[in-house]
Amino acid sequence: MNREEEARLEDRFKKLTAMLTVQPTGEEPQLKQLDGIRYLIFDFYGTLFISGVGDIGVDAESQNLERFRKALEACDLPADRKIAILGFGLFGEVVDKDVDRLRKQGLETPEVRIEEVWLEVLNSIRKESGLDREITSELARQFAVEYEARMNPVWPMPGLDPSLRTFAGKGVELGIISNSQFYTPIAFRALTGKELEESGFNRNLLHWSYEEQLKKPSVDFYRRFMKKLHAHDPEASPEMVLYVGNDMLKDIWPASELGMRTALFAGDERSLRWRREDPRCKNLKPDLVITELIQLADCL
């Protein structure tokens, strides 16, 4: 994807996105000083960014036929109800097929590449409708953004930019471990006006599920991050990492399994997941509970 295409997709995120505000959880912060932290690593959806559905995922409950139809219209594709129902149904079938294929390759919790899914779905729509138009990868990416921005609107968490500047001033390196798709860093640029690196993130410590084709809560997904960290700093160890996320199962549990210190972000009701019914989380406690990102500054 070239920079011109990225700029067009950023513009679509800007035009389709309205400001979101957090929904308070009523949780009380649990803070303490943590010594020896050199790496501050974040989840993206529901932690760095407010997420309208609380997370990212092709199985999100907010899948909606009308949003699907609107995305088709925005891409100048056939959008009558029959075609929309066909494409909407095919989406789930293609995702399931890709997940099965990746599981057969030994991936425990596979992550599909959403532009590849939409490329297949849109080609099926082309054949069904008799559309005389090539379905390109660029068109599939455009559709992915049109649908995602409608289905799962996002917005930077309150105080994101000054918080990141404060953390960088504490001498820690910033990174991300997140379930994601190709449009995740594009949404960051669109809605903050900055590249991730401009906001203090180390490009060597950005760990995206769509690149790995593996997603949370896989412990192996986090192990792969640790390999990146060791390549960046051979002396790094898990206890030097403070991982911040909003989901006890997807974020806190796998990070804890590897010996990272953890902070549960409990700042938005939509994304907070205690997962108390899951045996992996029943007796699990994060090192910190925060309700605002800036609270981490006093713990470093």
Q: Which amino acid is at 74?
A: A
Burial annotation 122-145 (CB, 10 A radius, 16+ → b, else e): bebbbeebebeeebeeebbbbbbb
Distance set, CA 268 to CA 23, 51, 52, 122, 237 (Å): 5, 9, 10, 35, 30
- What pLDDT score was predicted for residue 61? 42
Span 185-223, pLDDT tens digits: 999 999 999 999 999 999 999 999 999 999 999 999 999
pLDDT at 128 over 60: yes
Contact 276, 282 (CB under 8 A): yes
DSSP conformational letter for 55: S
Place of tokens 């006093």: 298
Place of tokens 């949370």: 216
**CB atoms inside a 10 Å sphere around CB 75:** 17
**DSSP per-residue codes, 264-297:** EE-S-TTT-B--TTSTTTTT---SEEESSGGGGG
- What pLDDT score was predicted for residue 291? 98
Give the mean model confidence (pLDDT) for residues 24-50.
98
DSSP conformational letter for 75: T
Contact 135, 245 (CB under 8 A): no
Give Cα 46 to chain centroid, integer Å: 8
pLDDT at 122 over 70: yes
| pLDDT band at residue 75 under the 50/70/90 scheme | very high
- What pLDDT score was predicted for residue 60? 44
Q: Cα–Cα distance between 89 and 180 in angstroms, integer?
A: 22
Place of tokens 């990868």: 137
- What pLDDT score was predicted for residue 65? 86
Distance set, CA 288 to CA 31, 62, 103, 202, 292 (Å): 5, 30, 34, 23, 12
Return the domain boundaries, the chain. Answer: 3-57+153-299, 65-151
**CB atoms inside a 10 Å sphere around CB 33:** 8
Give the mean model confidence (pLDDT) for residues 147-172.
96
Return the structure tokens found at 288.
């910190």
| pLDDT band at residue 160 under the 50/70/90 scheme | very high
**DSSP per-residue codes, 9-29:** HHHHHHHH----------PPP
Of 230, 234, 203, 201, nearest to 40 by C-alpha is 201
* Coil, helix or strand at residue 30: strand
Place of tokens 């309205």: 18
Q: What is the pTM of this model?
A: 0.95
Return the structure tokens found at 57.
């995922």
pLDDT at 62 over 80: no
Return the structure tokens found at 164.
């990141």
In the chain, where does DSSP find H-type helix? 3-16, 65-74, 81-104, 114-129, 137-151, 160-169, 183-192, 209-212, 219-232, 253-257
pLDDT at 149 over 90: yes
Span 48-61, pLDDT tens digits: 999 998 787 644 44
3-57+153-299: what CATH class? alpha beta
Span 15-26, pLDDT tens digits: 999 999 999 999
